[in-house]
Structure 1
Amino acid sequence: MTKLKVLVSLLLWQGAVYAQKPNIILLKNATIIDGDANVKPRIGAVLIENGLVKSVSFAPLKGVNSKTTVIDCSGKFITPGLMDAHVHLGTGDLKNLNSAHSRADSIMANLLRHGITTVRDMAGNAPFLAECKKKVEKGKQAGPDLYYAAQFAGPGYFKMLGNGRDGGVDLGNTAWYRAISSKADVKPAILEAKKAGVTGIKIYADLSKELISEITNEAHQQGLLAWAHGAIFPSKPMDVAKSNVNSMSHANDLVFQQIKGDTIEIGAAWAQLYKGLKLDDQARDQMLLEMKKRGTFLDPTVFHAENNRMVNAALITRRANELGVKIVTGTDWIYPTKNESVPLLDEMKLLIDKCGLSPLQVIQSATINGALVTGLKDRGLVRAGKRADLLILNSDPLKSLDAFDQPDMVIKEGKIVVF
């Protein structure tokens, strides 16, 4: 435990129980990295009260309340809490729920330990995820805030899966894994998904462009977000973008736009890719400019792609950033259960090393962009009125993202976390 943590250890949230009463914390003399890449980092102070950032000051402080806990952060750096915008916590073996929850609890604790204060789960067993979410909200389990999706696909997709998920009993017929055959299916399916607590609908596979648009429009009508894969098969990436989805996952999928024809067959498309499908710059730029025009976020999952020989993902993401497409950091990767480095850091490093983002742009992708793609306007920036989900780092993340690997302090909703 560092000297800074010892100083405040008596105020903290210990274990998995929120025990701290509302109080006032002042973090002074830190370099503040706002979360917006256009805001220059400056040395200042952050005042936290009742779980929110009350003020951010760059002037000398006067009249600090005697009830305020003052923490000197000289030489340290403050950023918003991080967000992984593409995780899967509810897709493993759930036959033994006690075992499944034990594993998920360990993963969630490690996410928070590494400064990840919010996650977007991109489809899994909704009752399981709802229980995970509730435990965190009630302070019974250390972990990030959890927002999750229902997965919609054509019946052919679920038939292909057979009995491989949730025992296969109701595959495609649950609120969270839903087979969509016609427009008539859409409205009631989204209503059921909403009742299951989802924040968005993940539009996944085996859907026509007409059904993609219907799902997206109805999700928005019912106050939900629409998140999609880059290619839905047989629908092409441009069909997805033109439906006004809020985000498109897997930058590598966008390469399938250049395949000739109005639709694409999944097996033939992937066969072409692994034979060395060369990226067409014109088709790529048309696709990305459509996303930019509609404000569609790109969830590129570059780390996932690099581990699966999908070299186009980094190239497409680099160009997306050059054209001004909004990027979020998602991993779609396995998280460790113990205190080990997390794949989000690998994703962030690749966005710099292979995709040309600046460190400030990467931090924005992992903070405010991740919040906005999930429909959250209350976090992701170090500003007055925002939730006090903050990290204190021992070294400058603009020089090395390794500063995020072991935050000196994690603050979630104004409570300092100790492990």
Structure 2
Amino acid sequence: MTLTNESSGAATPFAPPEAGELVVYRGFTLFDGTGSAPRPAVSLVVDGSVIRSVADETDVAAALADGAEVVDLTGHFVTPGLIDAHQHLATPPDRPAAEAILRRLVHSGVTAVRDMADDLRQVGDLARAALVGEIAAPDIHYAALMAGPGFFDDPRTHQVTRGAVPGHVPWMQAVTDTTDLPLAVALARGTYASAIKVYADLEAGLVAAVTAEAHRQGIPVWAHAAVFPATPGEVVAAGVDTVSHVTLLAHEAAKEPLTSYKDKPAVDHENLVTGEDARLDALFARMREQDVVLDATAGMWASAELAGDDPESVERARRQTELAIALTAQAHRAGVALATGTDYETAPGEPFPALHEELAFLVKRCGIPAPDVLRSATLVGARSAGTAHLTGSVEPGKLADFAVFARDPLADIDHLRTITLTVKRGRRFPRAAYATTPSRETR
């Protein structure tokens, strides 16, 4: 059959460069994300979308002999690309708003995000458009959700399944003891999801069964830290790969049994805010032993978007913030791997994304050293997304995902706002281009 109207498809102005296109970045101080100390006067050779060498002057000389482009970064500071481990890009779907958020993220040093369950009909297309370069955006790794049937009268589930029945679509499934889990997981995988998200209203045994089947089919499980009635300890014991929301871990010390997502019991706030509760120490030890990543979303209750505007809401946000600070610091002391998720976004007119606020919160309010926070935002973030073999550190063979700052963010975390350049899969996104229309951006 001969096609009479062949088309090359949509334009891809932000596509990664082809293999063989060499760029040498020279003269910067490198925080590579591996745990090594920062190194001054580093040179980096990028071949297409991949890092060919780091600080290897032989390769640099060879690249220069091959006519590579040279980018002088003398006096600048380079980190791996930042990762927001908890985003929601389509609840409800709004393509222009999502593209604006993604464009701001990639011009702020962010090279990847985890989307923690939305309308995957739109998120899947955003992920494809970001990957091939139709839009200026970080890479998007997203989850398909599973929860108990009682959760699906939540208004958000209707927003993300318009035209279908909540709980009965591949990206948002209601599961019970009678569900054909091999089929349910296969349907979720068919959305091209990176993970199954276990959300709410599931007993411990069912959380474990979903996790086991997902792992059998080669897909990770990202869970709420408490699934109600499954406790945090039961969620971790089920073998999940990441848990989200540090304040939900407080339910390991709940004063009453957990029942449902809508009916959360009181927690032992007064004891937990000391950051020295033995019940949480035991939970964190188990998480460290099993290498479970904690997507803390620690600063969300301190944000302008969630702080509230009436006395009751303000007090709730204050208490939740106090709890988040104590438990996040306790988790860090216990050696739990922290990822930097946000679960909110700054207002459209703001110049920088919520992820910058989260990193500042972890340093300034939780007392975590800046090098640890930057590692959480890079290599640990890549682990949370299942992509640490590809990105998260600046090393030969990995994707050319990194951020360039005029001032050292290790010396002051607010120096994240001195971002001058993001490189994602070898494609350059100058911060100066953010104030322009997308069509004016160049590699």
Q: Is the 8 A contact 1:152 1:179 kept in 2?
A: yes
Q: Is the 8 A contact 2:91 2:119 kept in 1?
A: yes
Q: Following superposition of structure 1 onto structure 2, how do residues 256-275 of structure 1 map, counting pairs within 5 Å? A: 256-260=251-255, 263-266=258-261, 269-270=264-265, 272-273=266-267
Deviations 1:255-296 (A, max 9, x none): 1111256644555534x24x9453170111011111111100
For residues 266 and 380 of structure 1, the distance between their equivalents in structure 2, rounded to whole angstroms, comes to: 33
Structure 2 match to 1:324: 335
Q: Is the 8 A contact 2:105 2:352 kept in 1?
A: no
* Matched residue SS, 1:291: helix
Q: Following superposition of structure 1 onto structure 2, how do residues 188-227 of structure 1 map, counting pairs within 5 Å? A: 188-227=183-222
* Matched residue SS, 1:325: coil
Structure 1 match to 2:82: 82
Query: Deviation at 1:302?
Result: 0.8
Identity score, percent: 29
Q: Is the 8 A contact 2:269 2:323 kept in 1?
A: no
1:52 maps to amino acid:
V
Structure 2 match to 1:154: 148
Structure 2 match to 1:278: 271
Alpha-carbon spacing, 1:258–1:339, altered in 2? closer, same or farther (3 Å): closer
Q: Is the 8 A contact 2:363 2:413 kept in 1?
A: no
Structure 2 match to 1:138: 132
Structure 2 match to 1:5: none
Cα RMSD after superposing both structures: 2.3
Q: Say yes or no: does 1:396 pair with 2:394.
A: no
Q: Is the 8 A contact 2:24 2:46 kept in 1?
A: yes
Structure 2 match to 1:248: 243
Structure 1 match to 2:39: 41
Aligned partner (choices 301, 309, 313) of residue 297 of structure 2: 301
Q: Is the 8 A contact 2:81 2:378 kept in 1?
A: yes
For residues 143 and 88 of structure 1, the distance between their equivalents in structure 2, rounded to whole angstroms, comes to: 14
* Matched residue SS, 1:350: helix
Deviates more, 1:82-91 or 1:67-76: 67-76
For residues 39 and 178 of structure 2, the distance between their equivalents in structure 1, rounded to whole angstroms, comes to: 49
1:355 maps to amino acid:
C
Q: Is the 8 A contact 1:107 1:336 kept in 2?
A: no
Structure 1 match to 2:311: none
Q: Is the 8 A contact 1:31 1:42 kept in 2?
A: yes
Alpha-carbon spacing, 1:252–1:386, altered in 2? closer, same or farther (3 Å): same
Q: Is the 8 A contact 2:258 2:264 kept in 1?
A: no
For residues 204 and 110 of structure 2, the distance between their equivalents in structure 1, rounded to whole angstroms, comes to: 35
Deviates more, 1:52-61 or 1:22-31: 52-61
1:415 maps to amino acid:
R
Deviates more, 1:321-330 or 1:181-190: 181-190
For residues 322 and 183 of structure 1, the distance between their equivalents in structure 2, rounded to whole angstroms, comes to: 41
What is the TM-score with the length of structure 1 in the denominator? Answer: 0.89
Query: Deviation at 1:36?
Result: 2.3
Structure 1 unaligned spans of 5+: 1-13, 95-99
Q: Say yes or no: does 1:53 pair with 2:64.
A: no
Alpha-carbon spacing, 1:162–1:277, altered in 2? closer, same or farther (3 Å): same
For residues 229 and 163 of structure 1, the distance between their equivalents in structure 2, rounded to whole angstroms, comes to: 16
Aligned partner (choices 122, 126, 147) of residue 128 of structure 1: 122
Aligned partner (choices 372, 381, 403) of residue 361 of structure 1: 372
Structure 2 match to 1:348: 359
Q: Is the 8 A contact 2:200 2:261 kept in 1?
A: no
* Matched residue SS, 1:184: coil
Deviations 1:147-183 (A, max 9, x none): 1001111001113549743348410111111101115
Pairs aligned (count): 398
Structure 2 match to 1:97: none
Q: Is the 8 A contact 2:200 2:260 kept in 1?
A: no
Query: Deviation at 1:70?
Result: 1.3
For residues 120 and 356 of structure 1, the distance between their equivalents in structure 2, rounded to whole angstroms, comes to: 25
For residues 134 and 48 of structure 2, the distance between their equivalents in structure 1, rounded to whole angstroms, comes to: 20
Aligned partner (choices 231, 237, 240) of residue 236 of structure 1: 231
For residues 318 and 162 of structure 1, the distance between their equivalents in structure 2, rounded to whole angstroms, comes to: 31
For residues 372 and 194 of structure 1, the distance between their equivalents in structure 2, rounded to whole angstroms, comes to: 19
Alpha-carbon spacing, 1:203–1:28, altered in 2? closer, same or farther (3 Å): same
Structure 2 match to 1:7: none
* Matched residue SS, 2:286: helix
Query: Deviation at 1:344?
Result: 0.3
Structure 2 unaligned spans of 5+: 1-10, 308-316, 434-443
Alpha-carbon spacing, 1:175–1:52, altered in 2? closer, same or farther (3 Å): same
Q: Is the 8 A contact 1:126 1:197 kept in 2?
A: no
Deviations 1:6-42 (A, max 9, x none): xxxxxxxx99443855411111110011112344433
For residues 339 and 48 of structure 1, the distance between their equivalents in structure 2, rounded to whole angstroms, comes to: 32
Structure 2 match to 1:18: 15
Q: Is the 8 A contact 1:153 1:207 kept in 2?
A: yes
* Matched residue SS, 2:214: helix
Structure 2 match to 1:3: none
